[in-house]
Amino acid sequence: MRKLGFFLILFFISLEGYTKKTEENSEIHDLMAYLLDPAAEAIWNSAGYVITEEGEFNLEPTDQEGWDKVKHGAKVISESSHLLSMPNRAVDNVQWVTFSMALKEMGERALQAAEKKDSEELFKVGADLYQVCVACHQIYWVKEE
């Protein structure tokens, strides 16, 4: 019974530490909220279709300014991989960094698609980007506000 009490104390101490660590990760939260989310939205909102009874509308950018916004988003995503991998931010050196580097690849692919003005490829990259996000969030989750 004493052992159980000892382990319970250890458990609650570690839980408190975990909670504090999560709250301290507001840097990651901000990086997601102010850099990665808007960058991903720029890619997601620039590829795809809207179908109504009036017809089908392609969401691809119609001018250079629109493609430049996609390029900006793509570059933010690829460079954010380094920001996420900084030693004081990386939760571990294996999976965390692997997911971060996967983001880099997504950003680079999106940039190439935008440079070629290839909306079909951009649509595929958008889908793959989301899979990277989901896979990472299923393992790591930063506390929401």
Query: CA Rg, the chain, in Å?
Result: 20
**Three-state secondary-structure class, residue 34:** helix
CB of 117 to other proteins, least distance (A): 18
Q: Does 127 bind other proteins (CB under 8 A)?
A: yes
Q: Which of residues 49-88 bind other proteins (CB under 8 A)?
A: 49-53, 56, 59
x/- letters, 85..124, toward other proteins (CB under 8 A): --------------------------------------x-
Retrieve residue 33's tokens. 């909220």
Of 84, 80, 78, 61, which Cα lies nearest the Cα of 112?
A: 78
58 φ, ψ to 5°? -85, 135
Name the strand (E) or helix (H) holding 38. Answer: helix 37-44
Determine which residue in the list 4, 62, 63, 94 makes contact with other proteins, applying CB under 8 A: 4
Residues that bind other proteins (CB under 8 A): 3-4, 7-8, 11, 15, 18, 40, 43-45, 47-53, 56, 59, 123, 126-127, 129-130, 133-134, 138, 141, 143-144
